[in-house]
Amino acid sequence: MTTEQRLAPARDWRDTFRDGADLALLGVVVSIACLPLVTAGGVVAVAAEAVAVRYGQGRWLTLGELWAALRRRFLPGLAAGAVVLITVALLLADQVLLAGGVVPGGTALAWVTGLLGLVILGIYALVVPFVGRGLGFWAAVGAARGVAVARPGVLVGVVGVLVLSGFLAWVLPVAGPLLVGYVLLALHGIVQRSTVAHS
């Protein structure tokens, strides 16, 4: 046993409960702050940074650090949020057109489009923890693309997180905001494991 292990304080159920409550509160705050939509990209980036700091350095960002991070990330987040919203809108419009028979292809093409949409959204979600680690948007996109190509299982795991959380939010809508913090933690953990395994 190393000196660091001997000196590290033992964790018990109260620490786990506190972490869970913190993540739930983070999810609620993020959900409320994203309501204007124009703030969504920056807020998600700041929340991802907060999770990365919490589980990398063992502390939460201070209010001053959160405000500074939001000011720094607002404009890039505005552009990123617009890209995500446009993508989701196009995917939904395509599904509506397919369901209405306006676009030929029927059920088979609807399934293909749905799976393609999940992959695209999975890559977008994979960008989030890289942004939380301090990368710029385009650098994070490059890092996410590299991980998705080199380790497709990571992308499958991210899509699984999105599908599961989406299903839980659909079954119990009131729990949707509470899940946001847990999703950010899951994405952080997936990227952390993938980069450690790849190094």
Q: Where are the domains of the chain?
A: 21-198
pLDDT, tens digit, 9 for 90 and up, residues 39-56: 999 999 999 999 999 988
Q: Contact, 194 vs 154, CB < 8 A?
A: yes
Owner of token pair 């109260």? 14
Which band of pLDDT confidence, cut at 50, 70 and 90, is reported for residue 19? confident
pTM of the prediction?
0.84
pLDDT, tens digit, 9 for 90 and up, residues 94-105: 888 877 777 676
Say yes or no to pLDDT of 108 above 50: yes
| pLDDT at residue number 198 | 54
| Cβ neighbours of 106 (radius 10 Å) | 11
Average pLDDT of the residues of the chain: 86
H-assigned helices in 8-105 = 13-33, 40-57, 63-99
pLDDT, tens digit, 9 for 90 and up, residues 143-182: 998 888 888 899 999 999 999 999 999 999 998 999 999 9
Q: Which two tokens stand for residue 102?
A: 């306006």
Q: How many angstroms separate the CA atoms of 62 and 67, rounded?
A: 9
First to last CA, the chain: 24
Q: How many angstroms separate the CA atoms of 34 and 16, rounded?
A: 27
Alpha-carbon torsion, ordered 134, 140, 146, 147, to 10 deg: 60
